[in-house]
Amino acid sequence: MSFNVMSRVNRPYVGIPSFLRARICEDLSKLDAAIAVLGVPFDEGSPFMPGSRFAPRALREHSLRFYGGGKGYYDPETRCEYLVEEMSQGLIADVGDVDIHPANAPRTFENITAMVRGILDRGALPVVLGGDHSITYPIFRAFDEKLHVIHFDAHTDYAPFENDLTLTNSHAFRHIAGMDNALSLTQVGIRSLRHSPAQVEDVIASGNRIIPMGEFRRIGPQGVADLLPAGSRVYVSIDVDAMDMSLVPGCVSAEPNGLTYPELRDSLKAIAERHDIAGFDFVEVNPPLDVGTGVTAYLGALTVIEFLGHICAQPRWAARRNTRFAA
């Protein structure tokens, strides 16, 4: 009996779990995609409980549930299809994982920066799956252009550099805010009572902005997008604990009174519509802590896919894609 590869059903639990079953391209010099998904299985920046090193694999596995035969996904609410061209034309590539050097965070961070820079050099949009939140610093330093940063989180991750600690998941945005190419920092969903005064007041004193949950609920998702001039080039960093702790059991640092999924989804959609996204990351899913269904990893994959769908639905993206990848 002959086997026809075109007759495969490809259920979500079979095959090699690249993100959205995208083609795998581990040689960045040969990358010819519009979007590059990169895993960073690193959790040595977490001072409390490890496990987020397993998140890139879990997020990829749950992304297979949205594969839909490689023809994009359909949203019953908007009655629109998203990522159709990107998936059907092979414009998404999974570039594998950063090489991790255990107990050598500076060396691993060098690898992260080098891989993101390699993606940017090929003209692709980097979509990075963490890992803990320390990884956003080495990701962002790969960019040469000046960018605004929007950060969704329960925590500012703006700890002072003291006690010889500088590379934990509590320090990433103190690094980023001090970089020449960071035009502004807007932090959304901040609410944890475990902040020191310096972790909040230093952000504000530096001219950046914190949007606690009370203010977020007053201005709403569109209000967050409207904080920056239309058309701004923006890097977005999303910590899963931006959402309420009841939604994310597989997160070590979850907090109450967080965003609902629609609030996060609609904020990302509004940002994608108003601004030009230079790249984004999604971090802090901890699969060993998750429930049996992997609901936190599922929610993470959904967040990444929906945000990517809204980015690619914009006329500016379509024009860029069609110019570069016209048949």
What local confidence, expressed as pLDDT, does residue 7 receive? 66
pLDDT tens string 110-152:
999 999 999 999 999 999 999 999 999 999 999 999 999 999 9
Mean pLDDT of 153-174: 94
Using left for φ > 0, alpha for ψ between -120 and 50, and beta otherwise, residue 283 falls in: beta
pLDDT digits (tens, 9 = 90+) for 261-309: 999 999 999 999 999 999 999 999 999 999 999 999 999 999 999 999 9
pLDDT of 10 reads 80
pLDDT band at 69 (very low <50, low <70, confident <90, very high): confident
* Full DSSP string of 48-103: S---GGGHHHHHHHHHGGG-GGGS-EEETTTTEEESHHHHHTT-EEEEEEPPP-TT
**Nearest C-alpha neighbor of 237 from the set 282, 199, 272, 300:** 282
Residue of higher predicted confidence among 236 and 325: 236
Taking phi over 0 as left and psi of -120 to 50 as alpha, with beta for the rest, 189 belongs to left
pLDDT at 21: 95
What pLDDT score does 100 carry? 97
**b/e 83-104 (16+ beta carbons within 10 angstroms → b):** bbbbbeeebbbbbbbbebeeee
The pLDDT value given to residue 234: 98
Closest CA to 124 of 31, 4, 53: 31
Burial class for 111, CB neighbours closer than 10 Å (0-12, 13-18, 19+) = middle
3 pLDDT higher than 50: no
Q: Give me the pLDDT at residue 15, please.
A: 84
Q: What is the pLDDT of residue 139?
A: 98
Q: In this structure, are residues 191 and 200 in contact, taking their beta carbons and an 8 Å threshold?
A: no
Q: What SS3 state is found at 323?
A: helix
The full set of domain ranges for the chain reads: 17-325
46 with 157: CB under 8 angstroms? no
Is residue 257 scored above 70 in pLDDT?
yes
Token pair for 262: 């629609």
Amino acid (1-letter code) at residue 31: L
What percent of the chain has pLDDT above 90?
A: 90
pLDDT at residue 4 is higher than 70? no
* Share above pLDDT 70 across residues of the chain, in percent, rounded to a whole number: 98
Class of domain 17-325: alpha beta
Query: What number of other Cβ atoms are within 10 A of residue 133's Cβ?
Result: 30
Instruction: Indicate whether 1 pLDDT > 70.
Output: no
